[in-house]
Chains A and B, each alone.
Chain A
Amino acid sequence: MTRILLHSRVDDCLSAWRSAGFRVLAPSKRNDLTRFDEVHAASDMALDLVLPERTIKDHFFPQTEPLLNYRIKKQAIESDEMLPPQQKRIFFGVRPCDASGLEIDDALFGWDYKDRYWFSRRENSVIITIACTRADDFCMCTSVQLSPDSTKGSDVMLHPLKDGRGWRVVTLTDRGKELAETIASMLQEDASETAPAASVPVKFDLDKVTSWLADPSNFESHLWKEVSQRCIGCGSCTFLCPTCHCFDIQDEGDTYSGIRRKNWDSCSFAMFTMHTSGHNPRNTQSTRWRQRIMHKFNYYQGKFGVNSCSGCGRCTRQCPVDMGITETLQEITNLPR
């Protein structure tokens, strides 16, 4: 049975989901920024974007998150844990790269300790992904063994129809099937042809890259300095990345009370590895950039069996000096064997 959802029925779906207690988030443009935000009507959505500028990671691992509040008394320290609200959410119109990013990060957040903040949000969220029929110059999912219609990390996949009336609906998980049932009356049987997935050229040789990175003799390669010379050391590539997950714990308040927070941090920053002594083991931008590439394509692979990159290309797309993962991995690909 092939079912489709027409664009004209999206508003009905939103009403049904909202009355079932879901918050619905979709790509939208507000204040000159495209990101996932709560939507109340199909007209709030910006589904024609190749990708929103911000990732859905923000809604699972926010840039700043309170963990607990504390009060220091004469004889005791009191604290109250602060947990994220138990809110059922639907993410509508996710791109396959962003959905894959969530699954890549599940490994990290569930490794030696199950991060309650990440997983309570994961378990309360349904991911409805739309396969890409368009790509831009920076997309590179096919270079990291994913694709414009990859199902990784998604609960429901929508494939745009060739005639542009709507999407073919494919449920992928139990959560996705349950959700599709809530809008069963709005779906119709229809075997219309789907539009071809976007064509995304392969930009580098991932196998060659990962084996080059795994060779310890390349750790001190001159390539690192060359490729990172223009890096200005901002954190935009890490903060816009759907898989970068580093954070710092900070106490905010005065002598007697405050809030302990988990804030995004970035390996691009000199402060990231600064020791209390003043010694900094990564004291140049090239060693910091090497860490970022090694972490994504060597260490993460070694620990969890996957690369920590889903090919969205935001790192290059929004880099102030036109430098991202693609450019570095192309340089490695082009090295003589």
Chain B
Amino acid sequence: MGIQEQYRTDAANLLDSGAVKLVIGYGEGSTPERRRPIFIRSAEEVGRLVLDANCIANLSAYLVPEGLLSDGKSVAVFLKPDGIRSVNILAAEAQLNPEQVVILGFNIDAGLANPLPGRKANEFAPLLASLKSAGLSTDLQREADRLEQMTAVERFEYWKEQFSKCIKCYACRQVCPMCYCRRCIVDVNQPQWVNTSSHTLGNFEWNIIRAYHLAGRCVACGGCDRACPVNIPLRLLNHRMSKEALDTFDHFAGESADQKPVLATFRQDDPETFIL
């Protein structure tokens, strides 16, 4: 049995037994390559679930809307390792109870979706530890290296060009599992803390706020980057922040559900090289 058939059967069993009230997965999209998030509530509908190498979106953001998990019931969700890390962070930040999240885990390797053993986030700990020891990388490594070589002025110019394209549609925020604030700081308007204008300064304000709030929290799912309708390479910013968190604090975001949020905790042996 292929993984798609296997997971359809698993989803049907989870729903039939009442173990979960909802399965969040992927369905066919508007083109043969596209996959879209779908929400399955009964075993009769599991035939709509698709699982293949085109299923790249991190669906964990659908777990956090207010009220979904407040009845104590469980939800099953298709997740790649990046999504499992997101669940761990959301648990560590008290946004959900990982016991309520049943994971239908998979990874994509050589154009194929493969099952990952485990059902609850903590069962994937060995896998996540191996990802941490493999180190951070980005598919934009050459661009990341090029940015590192630049002077601060050149780098500022680079981001100025990129941010000048921003239209403040906030797709990067909305698609991100880590952006769960009920009211984002840019939407706080009594008074308006951050200007709403999408001019160069306003775009800098937004993109820097977004990047900083993700420091030590981004799992590199690439959702923001794919969602951006004006093609700003946001994953380069996120990657740089993740590298800083790993190198300085040995922090690999979402390694476990009891990991302490790196910027909200203090350890006596924290390096303080940045304090003058």
Contact across chains for A230 and B36 when beta carbons are under 8 A apart: yes
Contact across chains for A239 and B169 when beta carbons are under 8 A apart: yes
In the complex, chain B residues whose CB is within 8 Å of the CB of A322: 29-30, 34-36
What is the distance, in angstroms, from B186's C-beta to the closest C-beta of chain A? 9
Q: Which residue of A lies closest to B171 (CB)?
A: A234
In the complex, chain A residues whose CB is within 8 Å of the CB of B35: 322
**Given A137-B30, A321-B37, is A250 in contact with B171 using a C-beta cutoff of 8 Å?**
no
Q: How many residues of A contact B (CB 8 A)?
A: 38
In the assembly, what is the distance between CA of A327 and CA of B62, in Å? Answer: 20
Q: Which residue of B lies closest to A276 (CB)?
A: B190
Q: How many residues of B contact A (CB 8 A)?
A: 39
Q: Which of B62, B161, B170, B196 contacts A250 (CB 8 A)?
A: B196
Contact across chains for A63 and B167 when beta carbons are under 8 A apart: yes
In the assembly, what is the distance between CA of A27 and CA of B15, in Å? Answer: 50
Contact across chains for A261 and B30 when beta carbons are under 8 A apart: no
Q: Which residue of A lies closest to B224 (CB)?
A: A320
Q: Which of B189, B199, B202, B230 contacts A271 (CB 8 A)?
A: B189
In the complex, chain B residues whose CB is within 8 Å of the CB of A263: 196-198
**Given A33-B165, A63-B198, is A250 in contact with B192 using a C-beta cutoff of 8 Å?**
yes
Contact across chains for A234 and B199 when beta carbons are under 8 A apart: no
Contact across chains for B171 and A64 when beta carbons are under 8 A apart: no
Q: Which of B189, B197, B227 contacts A236 (CB 8 A)?
A: B227
Q: B174 contacts the other chain (Cβ, under 8 Å)?
A: yes
In the complex, chain A residues whose CB is within 8 Å of the CB of B189: 271
Contact across chains for A232 and B197 when beta carbons are under 8 A apart: no
A to B contact number (C-beta, < 8 Å): 98
In the assembly, what is the distance between CA of A23 and CA of B152, in Å? Answer: 35
In the assembly, what is the distance between CA of A269 and CA of B189, in Å? Answer: 14
In the complex, chain B residues whose CB is within 8 Å of the CB of A131: none
B 146-171 to A, binary, CB cutoff 8 A, 1 in contact else 0: 00000000000000011001011111
Please indicate which of the listed interface residues B31, B174, B229 has the most CB atoms of chain A within 10 Å of its own CB: B229
Given contact pairs A33-B230, A232-B174, a sample of 7 additional A-B residue pairs in the complex whose CB atoms are under 8 Å apart: A64-B199, A232-B61, A235-B169, A248-B196, A264-B168, A269-B187, A322-B34
Report, nearest first, the 6 A-B pairs whose CB atoms are least far apart. Answer: A320-B227, A234-B171, A322-B36, A235-B169, A234-B174, A232-B174
Where the two chains meet, the residues of B that have a C-beta atom closer than 8 Å to any C-beta of A are: 29-31, 34-39, 57, 61-62, 161-162, 165, 167-171, 173-175, 187, 189, 192, 195-199, 202, 223, 226-227, 229-231, 233
22 A-B pairs, CB-CB below 8 angstroms? A31-B162, A31-B165, A53-B229, A53-B231, A63-B167, A230-B38, A232-B174, A234-B171, A234-B175, A235-B169, A235-B171, A236-B227, A239-B167, A263-B196, A263-B198, A264-B167, A264-B198, A320-B57, A320-B227, A321-B37, A322-B29, A322-B35
Where the two chains meet, the residues of A that have a C-beta atom closer than 8 Å to any C-beta of B are: 31-33, 53-54, 63-64, 137-138, 229-230, 232-236, 238-240, 248, 250, 252, 261, 263-264, 266, 269-271, 316, 318, 320-324, 326-327
